[in-house]
């Protein structure tokens, strides 16, 4: 297993960014693997194929994921990956500018100290400017920013989500689905439920990434692959995609999706945009 994981990681580091990334030796080292894999690490934005992608961090404070979220890990693994103090992470959203339209992928927590609106403002964008919101899934740290109390935050945005995600959440217990139902009802007139494989405005393709949630969705946009919660702890899971965080609702499917999309990104030379990618290169 270790040889297979190392081979996969090496493939990502060498091939994922293609010839346009110009990785320095430091960036290509194993201890800086996240910077080599993820979009928007060296600067706030990345541009590819005429598309501009901006990462907007929603968390106001540094975010470290405790190791306990990933089950019992061997001490040798913890030491070799230098993650004893926790795994650098974030709550992020991504703004894509394509064909003169502004597309927001997920909306963060919507907490009192959330930085989404400030981040949009720094990019010269207001909530009224968002044309589309593409949701990767319905967890609160991805749909929370859609509402402020009982008021919608994005008055013009058309909302797109996988029908598989929507239908699955409606079958969940009331206490789990309350936020989802309230949010989707608030946007009901502008809510579009899509099938995997559909091409959405801006040429973005919805892809089956189920596992983390029943209808977890990745989106392909040119040379970018927006993957939601494919990876929660990059410093651990890029090297060991077989390890799940406790948040994954179907661990078996989550591992299958993680392996598939990491390999897909390597083969297609894509940059990943993951909503929990570290805000800074892994030290």
Give the separation between CA 132 and CA 103, rounded to whole angstroms. Answer: 5
User: Token pair of 274, please?
Assistant: 């993951």
pTM: 0.88
pLDDT in tens, 5-36: 322 333 333 233 333 333 232 323 333 455 56
Helices (H), 83-162: 116-122, 140-143
Cβ burial, residue 250 (10 Å; 0-12/13-18/19+): middle
pLDDT in tens, 140-199: 999 999 999 999 999 999 999 999 999 999 999 999 999 999 999 999 999 999 999 999
Taking the alpha carbons at both ends of the chain, their separation in whole angstroms is: 25
Q: What's the distance, CA 130 to chain centroid?
A: 19
Instruction: Determine the average pLDDT of the residues in 246-259.
Output: 98
Instruction: Determine the average pLDDT of the residues in 204-224.
Output: 98
The helix or strand, by DSSP H or E, that contains position 3, with its residue range, turns out to be: helix 2-15
pLDDT in tens, 55-108: 999 999 999 999 999 999 999 999 999 999 999 999 999 999 999 999 999 999
Identify the weakest region by mean pLDDT among 33-42, 108-117, 136-145, 213-222: 33-42
For position 40, what pLDDT does the model report?
87
């Amino acid at each position: 297993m270790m040889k297979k994981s190392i081979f996969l990681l090496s493939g990502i580091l060498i091939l994922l960014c293609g010839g346009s990334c110009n990785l320095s030796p430091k960036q290509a080292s194993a201890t800086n693997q996240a910077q080599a894999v993820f979009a928007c690490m060296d600067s706030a934005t990345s541009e590819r194929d005429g598309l501009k992608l901006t990462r907007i961090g929603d968390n106001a404070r540094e975010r470290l994921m405790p190791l306990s979220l990933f089950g019992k890990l061997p001490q040798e693994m913890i030491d070799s990956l230098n993650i004893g103090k926790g795994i650098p992470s974030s709550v992020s959203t991504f703004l894509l500018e394509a064909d003169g339209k502004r597309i927001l992928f997920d909306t963060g927590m919507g907490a009192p100290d959330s930085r989404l609106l400030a981040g949009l403002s720094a990019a010269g964008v207001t909530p009224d400017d968002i044309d589309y919101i593409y949701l990767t899934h319905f967890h609160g740290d991805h749909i929370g920013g859609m509402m402020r109390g009982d008021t919608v935050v994005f008055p013009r945005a058309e909302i797109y989500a996988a029908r598989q995600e929507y239908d699955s959440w409606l079958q969940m217990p009331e206490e789990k689905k309350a936020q989802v139902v309230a949010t989707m009802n608030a946007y009901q007139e502008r809510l579009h439920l899509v099938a995997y494989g559909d091409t959405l405005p801006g040429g973005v393709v919805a892809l089956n990434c189920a596992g983390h949630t029943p209808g977890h969705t990745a989106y392909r946009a040119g040379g970018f692959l927006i993957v939601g919660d494919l990876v929660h702890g990059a410093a651990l899971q890029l090297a060991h995609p077989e390890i799940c965080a406790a948040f994954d609702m179907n661990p078996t499917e989550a591992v299958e999706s993680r392996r598939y999309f990491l390999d897909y990104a390597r083969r297609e030379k894509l940059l990943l945009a993951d909503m929990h990618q570290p805000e800074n290169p892994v030290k």
